[in-house]
A = this chain, B = another copy of it.
Amino acid sequence: MRIGLDMMGGDFAPTEAVKGVKLYLDTVASDVHLVLIGDEQQLTPLLAEAQLDQSKYSVVHSSQIVGMNEHPTKALKEKPQSSISIGFHLLKNEKVDAFISAGNTGAMMVGTYYSIKGIEGVQRPTISTPVPREDGSYGLLLDVGINADCKPENLAQFAQLGSLYSEYILKRPNPKIGLLNIGEEEGKGNLLAQATYPLLKENKQINFIGNVEGRDVFTSKADVIVCEGFTGNIILKMAESFYDIAKHRGINDDYLNKFDFESYGGTPVLGVSKPVIIGHGISKGIAFKNMLALAEQMLQTKLLEKITASFGNKEA
């Protein structure tokens, strides 16, 4: 397995990216080879200093960087030697099996759309967040921001994608799928939720348990919670703010500490045919390490093959 990592993406690159690589190589025993994409002049001394096993990685030089606030499409077009452009080029040409960056999110999405094939049958890719629960397990919430307006069919597909991710990556057998709504009974909610409910109910590939409400997000009532990206993004950012509030008020609680979503790493783009993982701009070493581990897990579990089969079966 070869995982490509953008060493120049994120506010603390390349220092924290190198730290992440070290953490990953030190703690994860695997046959993964890392392809580190970045400015050689900057990387060489940092990598030397980190004393890594040189057989475990190679460096691909990139001479440009897509800035965090650059216009995604324009930047990718004008900067073919940027670490993100090169990363997608390598992924497209099968020089790497997965690509990770904590750089410009928009550029990562544009790169994904233009370089990587969608999975047949999936109308729109989606991004998700793990949801910490008191029992130590993780739920999944999706979409969390790239699909602000959705049709019922989109939500039904997110449910299916989320179900497979929950099963294979979060290790929830037969995950319970809930539709985020404002009321428990079928027929409640806004027009989108009302129209989505029957689609989820009739989808035999998922274990639909009905509506869940705002108070259920952090419980284990559902393992996967489905919503459009507007509400999902509001929820995610509000949950992150609770971590800040707790920290600010001097509350040190094992569970609330898990609301530090930024440490999780990044979100995979689900619904495309290769693993692409987008990190927070402020990713630190642990986040880079977690993203590397996630890419490895996505490859090892053959998640994308399972998603492809799931959507293929449905059409058949």
Contact = CB atoms under 8 A, between A and B. Distances in A.
Interface of A: 134, 145, 148-149, 180, 182, 189-191, 193, 213-219, 228-231, 233-242, 244-245, 248-249, 251, 253, 255-256
B228 A241 contact: no
Contacts of A189: 148, 230
A191 B192 CA distance: 14
Number of copies: 2
Contact of A241 (B148, B149, B214, B241): B214
B213 A237 contact: yes
17 contacts: A134-B245, A180-B234, A182-B233, A190-B229, A214-B241, A215-B237, A217-B241, A218-B245, A230-B231, A231-B231, A234-B234, A235-B235, A235-B238, A238-B239, A245-B255, A249-B256, A251-B256
A90 B150 CA distance: 45
A233 B214 contact: yes
Nearest to A182: B233
The binding surface of chain A is classed by DSSP as: helix
Contacts of A145: 182
A253 B235 CA distance: 22
Contacts of A256: 245, 249, 251
A146 to B, nearest CB: 10
B182 A229 contact: yes
A238 B214 contact: yes
B253 A193 contact: no
Contacts of A245: 134, 218, 255-256
A190 B240 contact: no
Contacts of A236: 214
A190 B251 contact: no
B217 A238 contact: yes
A230 B182 CA distance: 6
